[in-house]
Structures are given as C-alpha cells and as structure tokens.
Structure 1
Amino acid sequence: MSRPRKPGIRYFPLDTDFFENKKVRRLTRAFGAIAASVLVNLLCTIYKDKGYYMRWDDETLAFLADELGLKVGTVREIVVKAIQVGFFDANMANLFGTDEMRSKGDYNGILTSIAIQEQYFNTCKQSKRSEVCYDARFLLISMKPYEKIVNSGENSINSRENEVNSGESTQRKVKESK
C-alpha cells in the first residue's frame, strides 16, 4: 500500500529575473535584501505545504520571523507591502480578517496569487499527477487548462471503495497435475 501523495510540490522553478521583477524591486528598495529572503521563504512554504496558497495569521508570522531570525514587526511590514504592491492577492489576504484589521492594514487570510497558482497547477500537469485536490474557494484562476487534474475532494486511497478485505477472495486454489 502506497502513502497518500502530499498536496504540495518538492520543486518549483524560480524565474531568473525574480530580483528584477518590479514588485520585488519595490520591496527590496524599501526593506533591503531581507525582503527577497522573506519572499523566497514564503514561496517555498506555499509550494511545499498546500501547493498554491497558505494561511497567513499571527502564528505563521511568528514562525517565519523565528525561522529567518527577524523581528515579527519587520516580517509583518514586508508581507503587508508585498500585498500592497500586488505580489500577493489583496482580496485573499483579507479573507479571514475583520474590518478593523483591514483598516489598520493588518492581514489575516490567505497568501496566494495568480502566478503562484498557475505555477503550481502547471507543475502538477507536467509531472502528470492524475489527481490534485484543491479548494475552489481559494482559486484565482480558471481550471479549464488543467481539466485532467481532478478535484476529488477526498483522499481516494482511504475511501471505503478501495477496501482490501472485502469478504470474498478472488484467488482460487488449483491443483497442479503431473
């Protein structure tokens, strides 16, 4: 019996002009080289865990700051600026936040973007994954180009239909004749 496949991917291509991207340049101009480090770390986390999005909350913020050896406030400012310049989708970043939080520019939601989602689903398609579970609430792209990727909504390996001990054996004992 094989293990269930993880939703994320083990590898993602980073464009060679990543640091020349206008959005990344605006962030590095404002915060220095640590902004690029935060962005790459966030991209790695997104692609590794869910594949095309990640929840953004205070716990995730604290974990990222500890991992990078930065202050929580610095990481928060970088992520807020990344949302403001369009590196991450602002509507998704506000998904779970309150009106009060939004008015202060504090985000508590989902970090994703069209580019992240296209990259993830293209990678899944190229690696010939036959089944990828996704949550349609967090999609920013059309799934038409990825029709062969099925949204099963459940782990088919553990479904009752695939039960091994079904009661009847399909094997027969046959005596060999000499």
Structure 2
Amino acid sequence: MARPRKQGLDYFPLDVDIDQDDKIQLVEAVHGPVGFAIVIKLLMRIYKDGYFSKWTETEQLLFSKRVNVDINLINVCINDCVKWDLFDKEVFETHGVLTSNGIQKRFLEAVGRRQKVEMVTEYLLLDFEDINVYKNLTTKSINVNINSINDDINPQSIVKHSIEKNSKEHHSTEDENVDDDLNIKVNEMNDKDFAKITQFYQENIGPLVPHIGDELGYMIDTHPVELILEAFKRALEANASNKVRYVNSILINWKNQLLKTLEEVNAADQRRVKSFSNKKITKIELVPDWFGKVDKPTVPIEENSDIAVERERLRQELMGG
C-alpha cells in the first residue's frame, strides 16, 4: 500500500499579540471583529492545505457558506488584506492564490522534519538564503517553458555553451541518478514502514479510513517506526478513546526528551521508576518524651518508730482490745 503524502499542517503558530500587528489592526479597524475572524479563518484554511490557498469563485462560495459571512464582504476584506500586504499582491493578482512570505516561512519551519516538501515555483516568495536552509525542499513549476535560441547569438558562444552544457549535463545526470536511487530506496523503506503501521492498526484498532492514513503517513515522516508501534501498544494498554491522538502525544513527549530508539525509551522509563521510588516519603511519628524511658523502682520510706507505736495503739482500741 503506497503511503499518502501529507501536505498541510494539523496546527499553526498563532501569536498571542497577533491583534497588535499593524496589518491586522488595519483590517479590524475597517471591518471590525468580523474582519479579524475572516483573517484567522483564512489562515486556518491556508495552513490546512499547506502554504497557500487558491481563491477562485468555487473557494469563495464555499468559504462564505462555512463562515456564514456575505461573500461580497469577504472579498472586500481580502482585497484590503492584499492592499496592506497581509497576502502577497503579485501572486494573488497573477495566480489567484493567497499566500505570503511569512506564511511560507512558518510552513517550512513546521515541516522541517519531513523527508520531502514540494513547493510551486510561481508561488514561492522566499529568498535563496531562506530556501537553502531547508534541504528537504524541492520545487515544481506549473508552467511548461520552451527554451529557444535567438538567431543573433554569436556562433562561437553557441559552441562554447554547447560544450559546457554537455559537460555539466554529464555530471548532473550521474548525480541525479545517485539521488534518484537513494530516493527510491528511502521511499521503498517508508512504504514498508507505512504498511507495517497500517497492518498493526487494522488488526488491533479498526478500519483504515483516509484521514487516519494521512495521520499515520505523517507519523512515518517524523518518528521512527519502532516508536510508533510501541506508542500504539501503550495506547491499547491504556484503553485510550482516541488512540491516534494518544499516540501523537506520546511520540511528541519522546521527541521532546530526545528519545530516538526503543532502548532509550525503556531506559528513560526505568530511570523514572527508580526516581519515583527514591522520592517516597517515610512517615515520621512524633512520640512523647517519656516513651521508652524505664521507670525507676520505688524505694520504701523508713517509718518513724513513734508513729508505728501510735498506729498500733489505735488499732487495738478500734478492735476493742
């Protein structure tokens, strides 16, 4: 079973002071809370798709129905967003696409651990320095360009260019073949891991619906397969109601602890158990000062002889003798 490629994000960063951004304030100043809500809803839509969202008539109608706002008001708000650079003007006017430099940067930061991320060249707004940081990024063009040679080009330069081009293409082809072989091996390995995870899921949890397949594919992109399987086993032991969400929380926790293998996870569990046992509090009972002290034997007091005589006399009188 081929593994589906996840494109969008499950969540995106939303700064707590986003309403203090000048661009957002301009939208809110003109359109009020409805304008602010439209912007947030658009960002949710964009990040769910990836790093851009098409804005054709179909998308406009569907978006208007989902947010229950008049389509004309939405389009006026979006035009203002473009005017104030919340979305890129050139890409919007040329391709009918909503995106921005900041959106693309945040998207690439979020998918930095994915093995391959593909972006459309015509929509790309990042500088070369920004693009070069992400080694997993590839680009594709939505246009087919046909290269032609002008008639007025110097013939000598054509020959020189042809020789250099053939030389570069020779080395480039070798490099591309190596990269293609490597990518094929990586993809085959990922597909095997995906098949292993999906088989475990179907045998122990339930049928594999499309959105679950997307979630499992994303797990394969970001976590070792042995840890995914272990996390699912623990979710079953805990009888978690939402096992995928439970597994994701476990995997994120292990990732934050920099645990990359099952051996490291087990070692961390043992350290935690040992630490817990060492922290057990021993109950100390307070006892009175007299507890444990040995009573000294009472020493009989010697009686005075006169008192003894008098006591005997009184005894005789009482007895009538």
Query: Once the 2 structures are TM-superposed, how far is the Cα of residue 136 of structure 1 from its aligned partner?
Result: 1.4
Matches within 5 A, 1:151-162: 151=138
CA deviation vs aligned residue, 1:67-98 (integer Å, no higher than 9, x gap): 111111100110000000110000011013xx
RCO comparison, higher one (Cα < 8 Å, 6+): 1
AA matched with 1:81: D
Task: Return the alpha-carbon distance in structure 2 between the equivalents of residues 55 and 95 of structure 1.
Answer: 11
Task: Return the alpha-carbon distance in structure 2 between the equivalents of residues 60 and 23 of structure 1.
Answer: 23
* 2:3 is the counterpart of 1:18: no
Query: Once the 2 structures are TM-superposed, how far is the Cα of residue 45 of structure 1 from its aligned partner?
Result: 0.8
Q: Which runs of 5+ in 2 are unaligned?
A: 141-179, 192-321
Task: Return the alpha-carbon distance in structure 2 between the equivalents of residues 136 and 27 of structure 1.
Answer: 29
AA matched with 2:34: I
TM-score by length of 2: 0.42
AA matched with 1:89: D
Counting aligned pairs with the same residue, the percent is: 26
* C-alpha distance 152-86 of structure 1, shift in aligned 2 (>3 A): closer
Aligned to 1:141: 126
Query: Which of the two has greater helix per residue?
Result: 2
Moved over 2 A (4+): none
Q: In the alignment, is the contact (CA less than 8 A) between 2:120 and 2:139 conserved in 1?
A: no
CA deviation vs aligned residue, 1:119-149 (integer Å, no higher than 9, x gap): 0001111xx1111111111100031121x21
Q: Which runs of 5+ in 1 are unaligned?
A: 97-108, 165-178
Task: Return the alpha-carbon distance in structure 2 between the equivalents of residues 33 and 70 of structure 1.
Answer: 12
Q: 2:104 aligns with which of 117, 127, 147?
A: 117
Q: Which protein is bigger by CA-based radius of gyration?
A: 2
Task: Return the alpha-carbon distance in structure 1 between the equivalents of residues 104 and 137 of structure 2.
Answer: 15
Task: Return the alpha-carbon distance in structure 2 between the equivalents of residues 36 and 149 of structure 1.
Answer: 34
Q: In the alignment, is the contact (CA less than 8 A) between 2:121 and 2:139 conserved in 1?
A: no
CA deviation vs aligned residue, 1:2-50 (integer Å, no higher than 9, x gap): 631221111111111111110000011101101111111111111111x
AA matched with 2:90: N
Task: Return the alpha-carbon distance in structure 2 between the equivalents of residues 20 and 150 of structure 1.
Answer: 32
Aligned to 1:3: 3
